[in-house]
Structure 1
Amino acid sequence: MTILDKIVERKRIEVADAKAKTTLQQLEQYPLFGRTCYSLKDSIENPKRTGIIAEYKRASPSKGIINGISTVQEVVQGYQDAGASAISVLTDSDFFQGDLADLTAARAVLHLPLLRKEFIIDSYQIAEAKAYGADIILLIAACLSPEEIKSLALYAKSLGLNVLLEVHNEEELKRSISDNIDAIGVNNRNLKDFSVSLAHSHDLVDKIPANFIKVSESGISDPSTINDLRKRGFQSFLIGENFMKTENPGEAMKKFVVELDL
């Protein structure tokens, strides 16, 4: 069983527990449920911002604790000040030590699109994302069928959310594209064994249709990598660990951005 299999198995239990505690109708009454979401596309295309989706992540299955000290609000505010185009917050508790409360805490200090970084297997999690302040949800092709991606994306769009589809290879890309997706992210990290290679982004960039925002995810630790990926056709770059492993992630991003060809 891969790490991804374990996460999805755990997620099914988690979702069932969450549904038992809070109904969909109750989520729809949460104050943030009715807010209008920020547009990911507008933010990525804003020339004053960097194209970076900066991530708040305490831990990961492959690295353990990455940063157990910095608070979500100080980190995401630092990212926003450093020029991030969007913010990603991990909400998985068992494997990444995240929490839905982190999403709401981030929302309170941000005026940027906010991604709920989660292993979504059920439309209930999309309603949760809206209720807790997200603007973007993530659909991971490696753990969803094409039919599931279609129906989950359609539901997300009905709530006004942006949809980021994550793929890892050409087969996942071809079977997963649907009309209700805004952005396609190429994960350079293999979710089955957690190895990282930028070759995934290099191979897939020209195969992603031009109407989608193209995002390269994971394994980016050098500004020159972004300069290269941008020349190849990517407009956005998801970075978490590289900033989170420092004492001051916002400051680390500021120094990183100085070296970008903007």
Structure 2
Amino acid sequence: MNILEKIIARKQEEISESKKQRSISDLEKEPLFSRPTASLSAALRSSTSPRIISEFKRKSPSKGVINADVRPEIVTKDYVDSGAVGLSVLTDIDFFGGSFADFLAAREANPQIPMLRKDFIVDEYQLFEAKSIGADVILLIAACLTPSEIAHLSRKAHDLGLEVLLEVHNAEELAASVGEHIDIVGVNNRNLKTFETSIETSVELSELIPEQFVKISESGLKDAETIVKLFQHGYKGFLIGETFMKTVNPGAALAGLQQNLTQHSNLNPLVL
């Protein structure tokens, strides 16, 4: 059993436990459930330069603990102040050290910015959870869902007013999974089965993603040069977590990258 299979097996147990504690009706009564959502896809589509979706992540299966001494409300506020177009907050507990508490703290500190619930969505119940904690976007990972599951979950997410980020790792997943209820296609440069990372994954898939979908690149993004290269391949957004989170001040790390991106933009008219 690879790490992705282990995560999904545990996720199914977690969902079963959660359903016993709180019904969908209970989730619908949460104050944030009726909050109007903010559009990440619209913010990215209208941008004329690379935009960063900054992630709050305490640990990962491949890296272990990345940064334990951080507070989500501080880090995410710093991200927004440094120019992040959106936020991604992990809610998986066992493998990534995330929680609903982290998400809610970030939401309270940043009431307007689009926020992605970063988790392994495999059940419709989790969409109601996402809505109840103030998420704007949910993640569907093609590697752990069938095309019919993706179609069903994405349609239900739209019914709830949530945007859908479809994450793919190769051309086969892309071809099988894209559909009318997908808003953003994210190419994960990290293979979730081996955790090996290659930026060329985004380059290779860039021409295969239909134009109606906003494109973002995820994982292994560390420098302005790589981001500018991928922007020229049509990627609007760049989801970055570990690169920032492993520093003492993640917000300052984003600010530094933004400054480098500005310098590259000034040198390269294709980015303007």
Return the TM-score normalized by structure 2. 0.94
Structural mapping, 1:103-114, within 5 Å: 103-110=103-110, 111-114=112-115
Contact 2:50 2:228 in 1 (8 A): no
User: Structure 1 residue runs of 4+, over 3 Å off?
Assistant: 45-50
Contact 1:52 1:84 in 2 (8 A): yes
Hey, what does 2:246 align to over in structure 1? Answer: 245
Hey, what does 1:12 align to over in structure 2? Answer: 12
Q: Using the TM superposition, give the Cα deviation of residue 199 of structure 1 relative to its aligned residue in structure 2, in angstroms.
A: 1.2
Structural mapping, 1:203-222, within 5 Å: 203-222=204-223
- Is residue 22 of structure 2 the alignment partner of residue 3 of structure 1? no
Hey, what does 1:163 align to over in structure 2? Answer: 164
Q: Using the TM superposition, give the Cα deviation of residue 45 of structure 1 relative to its aligned residue in structure 2, in angstroms.
A: 3.6
Hey, what does 2:90 align to over in structure 1? Answer: 90
Quote the Cα distance in structure 2 between the aligned partners of 1:85 and 1:55.
Answer: 11
User: Does the residue aligned with 1:36 lie in a helix, a strand or coil?
Assistant: coil
Contact 1:56 1:244 in 2 (8 A): yes
- Is residue 123 of structure 2 the alignment partner of residue 128 of structure 1? no
Contact 2:50 2:227 in 1 (8 A): no
Structural mapping, 1:59-98, within 5 Å: 59-98=59-98
Contact 2:89 2:118 in 1 (8 A): yes
Quote the Cα distance in structure 2 between the aligned partners of 1:50 and 1:101.
Answer: 30
Contact 1:50 1:84 in 2 (8 A): no
Quote the Cα distance in structure 2 between the aligned partners of 1:49 and 1:82.
Answer: 15
Hey, what does 1:188 align to over in structure 2? Answer: 189
Hey, what does 2:139 align to over in structure 1? Answer: 138
Q: Using the TM superposition, give the Cα deviation of residue 6 of structure 1 relative to its aligned residue in structure 2, in angstroms.
A: 0.1
Contact 1:217 1:238 in 2 (8 A): yes
Quote the Cα distance in structure 2 between the aligned partners of 1:45 and 1:179.
Answer: 17
Hey, what does 1:149 align to over in structure 2? Answer: 150
Q: Using the TM superposition, give the Cα deviation of residue 51 of structure 1 relative to its aligned residue in structure 2, in angstroms.
A: 1.5
Contact 1:215 1:234 in 2 (8 A): yes
Hey, what does 1:53 align to over in structure 2? Answer: 53
User: Does the residue aligned with 2:232 lie in a helix, a strand or coil?
Assistant: helix
Contact 2:45 2:214 in 1 (8 A): no
Return the TM-score normalized by structure 1. 0.98
Q: Which runs of 5 or more structure 2 residues have no equivalent in the other structure?
A: 266-271
Hey, what does 2:268 align to over in structure 1? Answer: none
Hey, what does 2:237 align to over in structure 1? Answer: 236
Quote the Cα distance in structure 2 between the aligned partners of 1:180 and 1:147.
Answer: 12
Quote the Cα distance in structure 2 between the aligned partners of 1:144 and 1:15.
Answer: 16
Q: Using the TM superposition, give the Cα deviation of residue 101 of structure 1 relative to its aligned residue in structure 2, in angstroms.
A: 1.4
Q: Using the TM superposition, give the Cα deviation of residue 232 of structure 1 relative to its aligned residue in structure 2, in angstroms.
A: 1.1
- Count the aligned residue pairs: 262
RMSD: 1.1
Hey, what does 2:257 align to over in structure 1? Answer: 256
Contact 1:136 1:162 in 2 (8 A): yes
Q: Could you report, residue by residue, the CA deviation over 1:101-126 in whole angstroms, capped at 9, with x for unpaired residues?
A: 11111111112100000001001011
Quote the Cα distance in structure 2 between the aligned partners of 1:46 and 1:102.
Answer: 29
Quote the Cα distance in structure 2 between the aligned partners of 1:71 and 1:140.
Answer: 27
Q: Using the TM superposition, give the Cα deviation of residue 186 of structure 1 relative to its aligned residue in structure 2, in angstroms.
A: 0.3
Q: 1:228 to 1:48 in 2, by over 3 A?
A: closer
Q: Using the TM superposition, give the Cα deviation of residue 46 of structure 1 relative to its aligned residue in structure 2, in angstroms.
A: 4.8
Q: 1:240 to 1:193 in 2, by over 3 A?
A: same
